[in-house]
Amino acid sequence: MNPVVLIVDDEKPTRDGLRQALDERFEVYVAADPREAQQVLRSEPVDVLLTDLRLGADSGMDLLDEALTLPKPPVSIMMTAYGSVDTAVEAMRRGAWHFVTKPLNLEEVELLVARAARGREIESENRRLTSENHELQKKASSQSAGLERLIGKSQAMMKIGEMVTQVAPTRATVLIEGESGTGKELVAHALHDLSGRPADKLVIVNCAALSPQLLESELFGHEKGAFTSAHQRRIGRFEQADGGTLFLDEIGEIDTSTQVKLLRALSERTIERVGSNNPIAVDVRVIAATNKNLRKMVTEEKFREDLFFRLNVVNIRMPPLRERAEDIVLLASSFLREFSEENGRTLKPLSDRALDLLRLYSWPGNVRELRTAIEHGVVMSNDESIEEQHLPGFLDGNILPSTPEMANPSVTAEKDLAPQGEFNLHDLEMNAIRGALRYTNGNRTKAAGLLGISRRTLQRKLKDLPTSSDSL
């Protein structure tokens, strides 16, 4: 049976257009106002609710609230006029799953509805599988959180969402590639959340953080006496993750001997603890991530080709933020809300000029850098809105399209994925100090307080800031 979709819009042409676009793959109901919509919601098992935010005098938000009280609430997608993204973000905070802006791109809507329906299917499957066990049921509801944390409505992010839903429930090994800060870890979590594997069985290993020998025993464990410091038997991460997911972060950093062992573990689905020849069977779903160009490492013989193919069964490539500028405002709104709440500030809008700056910047540190910039803005602003001068100063210095990647995109494919312009911590720090001093009119004690450092530390750091006196 096809998934059931309810379309709510007060304009007939929109209703008809949507009905036509969705009719083939879904069982479609339409309603012109909240009253009609509620009747359908009560009598039909609606999987996906697609509603306009403004329904004549009524609000789609109230309808959303109503829908969420149903015993099996539909996945809700809000339609909103271009430019009222803030209301849409509010709707998402209240429990809507996604939103689309008008004028509608029918293909986009169709994709989104299909994704919603698929998520819903997985959700009810999870519910069915776990209905006898209350503990497990709690987990099922957190599993639907899988994709919700991954914000973005660009074509590229929609594709990633689709891929995640598609491959999550399988056993396939996934390789997530992308620059630093693009959301690789978030995707790994989503894959696990939607995998149907026990929620608490996600084991994460950062391969860059350990020396080769330590990494090997971290992954596979060791027997007592395997090497001089092995006083106890140790269970490795593979065994810990049995039945669940093992996330190998920064996979590009593992040494050749561990690469061989990992290949064995992946192809034979057994591991051996260091110092033992006893194979132990494990059922582990492996997800790996890297910001290196593994293909290039393979040609340079730094990474084993056979292991690369084992890992790269499904490839998810996270697009850099500069290639999906349409997500910037949406991400910024969400971070704005997050940090306003966290810092007990009232929610303020970003000024037009500040928004322009965010849109134009090239974001070498991707979403992580945007997140930090918004946090900076929230903390620094004591005006009605967040202005250009409250954002980190470096935003001015790295504006598109001056980055080499943009000038010649074909070169990018062959290069390492790591950002070209190094993300300079020192500059960031100096900018924060400048901002804090500007904010406090040069009062060093207050500025130090704002930055969470002692006045003495600030003094010391100011010595590193040769132009500090001019810029104040």
Ligand X SMILES: Nc1ncnc2c1ncn2[C@@H]1O[C@H](COP(=O)(O)OP(=O)(O)OP(=O)(O)O)[C@@H](O)[C@H]1O
Write out the residues near Mg ion by the rule CB under 5 A: 184-185
Closer to ligand X at the Cβ: 21 or 167? 167
Closer to Mg ion at the Cβ: 92 or 251? 251
Closer to ligand X at the Cβ: 77 or 458? 77
User: Which sign does the torsion angle of CA 6, 331, 342, 137 carry?
Assistant: positive
Choose the stretch contacting ligand X; rule: CB under 6 A; options: 30-38, 98-106, 265-273, 365-373: 365-373
CB of 6 vs ligand X, minimal distance in Å: 28
CB of 422 vs Mg ion, minimal distance in Å: 18
436 burial via Cβ count (<10 Å: 0-12, 13-18, 19+)? buried
Q: Residue 367, interface with ligand X (CB under 6 A)?
A: yes
Closer to Mg ion at the Cβ: 27 or 185? 185
CB of 182 vs ligand X, minimal distance in Å: 4
Q: Residue 178, interface with ligand X (CB under 6 A)?
A: yes
Choose the stretch contacting ligand X; rule: CB under 6 A; options: 36-44, 110-118, 178-186, 276-284: 178-186
Residue 382 CB: number of other CB atoms within 10 A? 9
One of 68, 70, 85, 150 touching ligand X (CB under 6 A):
150
What is the footprint of ligand X within residues 325-354 (CB under 6 A)? 331
Work out what residue 150 binds among ligand X, Mg ion, none; the CB cut-off runs from 5 to 8 Å by kind.
Answer: ligand X
CB of 331 vs Mg ion, minimal distance in Å: 17
CB of 403 vs ligand X, minimal distance in Å: 18
What is the footprint of ligand X within residues 80-139 (CB under 6 A)? none
Closer to Mg ion at the Cβ: 184 or 390? 184
Q: Residue 182, interface with ligand X (CB under 6 A)?
A: yes
Spatial separation of the C-alpha atoms in residues 376 and 373, rounded to whole Å: 5
One of 75, 114, 151, 458 touching ligand X (CB under 6 A):
151
- Give the binding-site size for ligand X (rule: CB under 6 A): 16
Spatial separation of the C-alpha atoms in residues 33 and 10, rounded to whole Å: 6
Compute the residue count for the chain.
472
Q: DSSP string covering 40-71, please? A: HHHHS--SEEEEESEETTEEHHHHHHHHHTSS
Residue showing the smallest CB distance to Mg ion in the complex: 185
CB of 123 vs ligand X, minimal distance in Å: 20
The answer to whether residues 430 and 464 touch, using CB atoms and an 8 Å cutoff, is yes
Token pair listed for 237: 């991460």
Spatial separation of the C-alpha atoms in residues 439 and 446, rounded to whole Å: 9
Picking from 192, 100, 110, 102, the residue whose alpha carbon sits closest to that of residue 145 is: 192
Query: Which of 113-142 are b and which e, b meaning 16 or more Cβ less than 10 Å from the residue's Cβ?
Result: bbbbbbbbebbeebbeebeeeeeeeebbee
Q: Residue 364, interface with ligand X (CB under 6 A)?
A: no
Q: DSSP string covering 276-329, please? A: ----EE---EEEEEESS-HHHHHHTTSS-HHHHHHHTTEEEEPPPGGG-GGGHH
The answer to whether residues 339 and 297 touch, using CB atoms and an 8 Å cutoff, is no
Q: Residue 152, interface with ligand X (CB under 6 A)?
A: yes
Count helices and strands in the chain by DSSP H and E runs: 23, 16
Work out what residue 152 binds among Mg ion, ligand X, none; the CB cut-off runs from 5 to 8 Å by kind.
Answer: ligand X
Q: DSSP string covering 426-437, please? A: HHHHHHHHHHHH
The answer to whether residues 63 and 42 touch, using CB atoms and an 8 Å cutoff, is no
Q: Residue 323, interface with ligand X (CB under 6 A)?
A: no
Q: Residue 196, interface with ligand X (CB under 6 A)?
A: no
Q: How far is CA 28 from CA 65, 75, 117, in A?
A: 21, 14, 13
Closer to ligand X at the Cβ: 308 or 339? 339
CB of 187 vs ligand X, minimal distance in Å: 7
Closer to ligand X at the Cβ: 106 or 204? 204
Closer to ligand X at the Cβ: 3 or 178? 178
Closer to ligand X at the Cβ: 14 or 291? 291
Q: Residue 146, interface with ligand X (CB under 6 A)?
A: no
Closer to ligand X at the Cβ: 156 or 263? 156
Pairing mode of beta strands 234-235, 221-222? antiparallel
Spatial separation of the C-alpha atoms in residues 183 and 147, rounded to whole Å: 12
CB of 318 vs ligand X, minimal distance in Å: 6
Q: Residue 371, interface with ligand X (CB under 6 A)?
A: yes
Residues that bind ligand X (CB under 6 A): 150-152, 178, 180-186, 291, 331, 367-368, 371
